[in-house]
Amino acid sequence: MKTIFALSGVVIKELYRRKDFYVLFVLTALITLVLGAVNFFNDDRIVRYLKEVCLLLIWVSSLVIAIGTTARQIPAERENRTIFPLLAKPVSRWQVILGKFFGCWFACGLSLVLFYVFFLLLSGTREHQWPLLQYVQTFALHWALLGIVVSLVLLGSIVFAAPSSNATISFIVVLGILFVGRHLNTVALQQPEPLNSIIYTIYFLIPHLEWFDVRDLVIYGQHLVGWGDCLLAIAYAAVYSTFVLAAAWVAFRRKALNL
């Protein structure tokens, strides 16, 4: 575990040395604050539009950070040839995969904490309500989703040739699942066989990222998700991430490291 955490520490240091996070955070804060300053019909108690825009920006930023950071990890090690001394330490390939995963996931978690603190302060000062439990739940589910995304991108960084193609495909897949994943069963039922069975199988196989998107519950001040359901969803994310990481390890084990 020590080796894994040493590897992840390097990834976290890389996040705060690079400018991506700062730029995204400043942009999110700036856009939200400018929108917050807009006067709609002399009513300063309008807040939901602001929460919606802010959460959307947080989601976009977190996906950019997760995919951007993860996609370049292994290709950069190979390109700079630092993968060879790393594996000669000795560090096994399984540890490299796990170290990179935890590094990227913790880095996403750290940035997410800052984003959510900003959101909490913004909505609290405007709304004069502090639904902390709901925000904790939203954060936990969001972070669990990023775990699945990071593992998928890590697998992509071994399968695909370049970080750019990996990042693009990962974005398309993640956004596709977020927008369409929930409705694939509806689409499947409208198709003739064998398309029906194929689409339904895809529906059960894909990671259901949309479960982790509880923004609407926060924006519209709805109920808390049951804690049991929340834990079940996090367990689903853990199992799915482990499965994808195992697939990444299998692919990485057979991968030639020289370019």
Q: How many CA atoms lie within 13 A of 21 on its CB side?
A: 19
Of 172 and 189, nearer to other proteins (C-beta) is 189
Contact pick of 213, 246, 247, 251 for other proteins (by CB under 8 A): 213
Of 41 and 259, nearer to other proteins (C-beta) is 41
Of 40 and 132, nearer to other proteins (C-beta) is 40
Piece of the chain touching other proteins by CB under 8 A; list 62-70, 101-109, 142-150, 216-224: 216-224
Other CB atoms within 10 Å distance of the CB of residue 204: 9
**Bond prior to 90 in cis (omega within 30° of 0):** yes
Contact pick of 217, 246, 247, 250 for other proteins (by CB under 8 A): 217
Tell me: does residue 226 bind other proteins (CB under 8 A).
Answer: yes
Name residues contacting other proteins, limited to 66-125 (CB under 8 A): none
Of 34 and 88, nearer to other proteins (C-beta) is 34
The Cα 157–Cα 75 span in angstroms is 7
Of 14 and 127, nearer to other proteins (C-beta) is 127
Of 10 and 189, nearer to other proteins (C-beta) is 189
The Cα 21–Cα 111 span in angstroms is 7
The Cα 69–Cα 49 span in angstroms is 30
CA distances to 55, 108, 163, 210 from 224, in Å: 17, 24, 38, 16
CA distances to 24, 44, 99, 181, 205 from 150, in Å: 18, 39, 12, 18, 18
Tell me: does residue 176 bind other proteins (CB under 8 A).
Answer: no
Q: Residue count at the site for other proteins (CB under 8 A)? A: 35
The token pair at 175 is: 């956004």
Report in angstroms how near the CB of residue 132 gets to other proteins at its nearest. Answer: 19
List interacting residues with other proteins (CB under 8 A): 38, 40-43, 45-49, 141, 182-183, 185-187, 189, 203-204, 208, 210-214, 216-217, 219-220, 222, 225-226, 229, 232-233
